[in-house]
Amino acid sequence: MTSARALVLEEPRRLVPRQFDLPEIGDDDGLLRVEACGLCGTDHEQYTGALPAGFAFVPGHESVGVVEAIGPAAAARWGVQAGDRVAVEVFQSCGTCAECAAGTYRRCVRHGMGDMYGFIPTDKGPGLWGGYAEYQYLAPDSMLLPVPASLAPDVATLFNPLGAGIRWGVTVPGTTIGDVVAVLGPGVRGLSVCAAAKEAGAAFVMVTGVSPQDDERLALAKDFGADLAVDVTQTEPAKALRQAVGRLADVVVDVTAKAPAALAQGVAAARPGGTLVLAGTRGSPDTPGFWPDHIVFKELRILGALGVDAPAYRAALDLLATGRYPFADLPRRCANLDGAEDLVRSMAGEGAPPPVHGVLVP
Ligand SMILES: [Zn+2]
Ligand SMILES: [Zn+2]
């Protein structure tokens, strides 16, 4: 094999196959044979142009695969060998700058947010910087996460959303034993927050969604640690909590997309002195029903959470491997490179209804 097939997003809505030469692997880098690449909101936002790039690139930032080739220095640094199954952290880290040393490598001075896998120009050699490809380049500052042997590659791609669930639902707000947790949005990240909160010892977890498009997800939520699933077209989340547990939430985690009313619902559902996490991007400046004084009166702690980090990813892979929650059975649609565009379009709400979990299997 001297070349690899990949999909290049040349501009919004133009996803075209292209053949790339495989790079020579030296002492300090490696090559991944991509087995599966999970899809999330970022993928369809890149595709539609809601998240414009301005350059051609190979998308795909939730890659799992087998290390095909690796240099000796890279193998020592990453602790993996050729033949190992790994997940690839989205961000790269130089390991030496102040941000990297502090663990906040998303703000690495050498790489930072502009150097994420699945969002790097094909002009930068060797071009194979994403998971929509048979092979993905592993640059020296990559971070690799070993995948437990029991996990199938398509299930292992959940390291990304479940890592987000752990960081956004537990680490960032400090969720602890006995907490009442409200999760706004029952997508794969919302279900992941439910499981993570329950694992952290939450006494009660509520998840909300909007009927009818969220009915399937709300029905699944009880298997993922939710004690109560609420359709916000029928019941106000705050009222549902009062009825169920007699009080409001210690922690509210908003992982909604295109649901501007969720912010006001989250503020209403939080107890005085509680914590509200706004996670992922909302894609809208609208906040109907939101009144800033409620934050003052309740002395709420409002925290933004954007990405995930390696400790959360490792915890996610461990939790997936336990099989305690039925992540392997999530309604999942897999597509190969030829079917990728249809799958991404359906996740953007065009064509067929979106699956709970979409995975590319190059
Ligand atoms: Zn993603
Ligand atoms: Zn750095």
Instruction: With beta carbons less than 8 A apart as the criterion, state whether 167 and 306 touch.
Output: no
Q: How confident is the model at residue 103 (pLDDT cuts 50, 70, 90)?
A: confident
Whether 272 maps to a domain, the answer reads yes
**How many structural domains comprise the chain?**
2
Q: What single string gives the DSSP state of each residue in 274-324? A: EEEEEES-------TT--THHHHHHT-EEEEE----HHHHHHHHHHHHHT-
Q: Which ligand is nearest to the CA of 93?
A: 2
Q: Which ligand is nearest to the CA of 112?
A: 2
Instruction: With beta carbons less than 8 A apart as the criterion, state whether 309 and 99 touch.
Output: no
Residue 283 has pLDDT above 80, yes or no: no
Specify the higher pLDDT residue, 302 or 280.
302
Residue 169: both structure tokens together: 């639902």
Report angle CA 144, 256, 173 to the nearest 5 degrees: 65
Same domain, 116 and 224: no
Residue 27 has pLDDT above 80, yes or no: yes
pLDDT tens digits, one per residue of 36-76: 999 998 999 999 999 999 999 999 999 999 999 999 999 99
Q: What is the pLDDT of residue 326?
A: 98
pLDDT tens digits, one per residue of 124-158: 999 999 999 999 999 999 999 999 989 999 999 99
What average pLDDT is seen over the chain?
96
pLDDT tens digits, one per residue of 176-185: 999 999 999 9
Report angle CA 255, 257, 262 to the nearest 5 degrees: 70
Whether 151 maps to a domain, the answer reads yes
Q: Which ligand is nearest to the CA of 41?
A: 1
Q: How far is the CA of 105 from the centre of ligand 2 (A)?
A: 6
Same domain, 354 and 207: no
Residue 191 has pLDDT above 80, yes or no: yes
Enumerate residues 6+ apart whose C-beta is below 8 A from 52: 12
Alpha helices in 178-309 (DSSP H): 188-199, 215-220, 237-245, 262-269, 293-298
Whether 324 maps to a domain, the answer reads no
Provide the residue range defining the domain that includes 349.
Answer: 3-158+330-360
Q: How far is the CA of 62 from the centre of ligand 2 (A)?
A: 21
Same domain, 9 and 85: yes
Whether 91 maps to a domain, the answer reads yes
Instruction: Read off the CATH number of the domain in which 290 is found.
Output: 3.40.50.720
Q: Which ligand is nearest to the CA of 92?
A: 2
Using a pLDDT cut of 70, give the percent of the chain over it.
Answer: 100
Q: Which ligand is nearest to the CA of 61?
A: 1
Specify the higher pLDDT residue, 98 or 281.
98
The whole-model pTM stands at 0.94
pLDDT tens digits, one per residue of 241-262: 999 999 999 999 999 988 899 9
Q: Which ligand is nearest to the CA of 143?
A: 2
Residue 114 has pLDDT above 90, yes or no: no
Q: How far is the CA of 106 from the centre of ligand 2 (A)?
A: 8
Whether 274 maps to a domain, the answer reads yes
Q: What single string gives the DSSP state of each residue in 82-141? A: TT-EEEE-SS---SSSHHHHTT-GGG-SSSGGGG-TTSSBTTSTT---SSSBSEEEE-TT
The sign one gets for the Cα dihedral 104, 105, 106, 109 is positive
Residue 154: both structure tokens together: 């398509």
Q: How far is the CA of 40 from the centre of ligand 1 (A)?
A: 4
290 strand-pairing partners: none
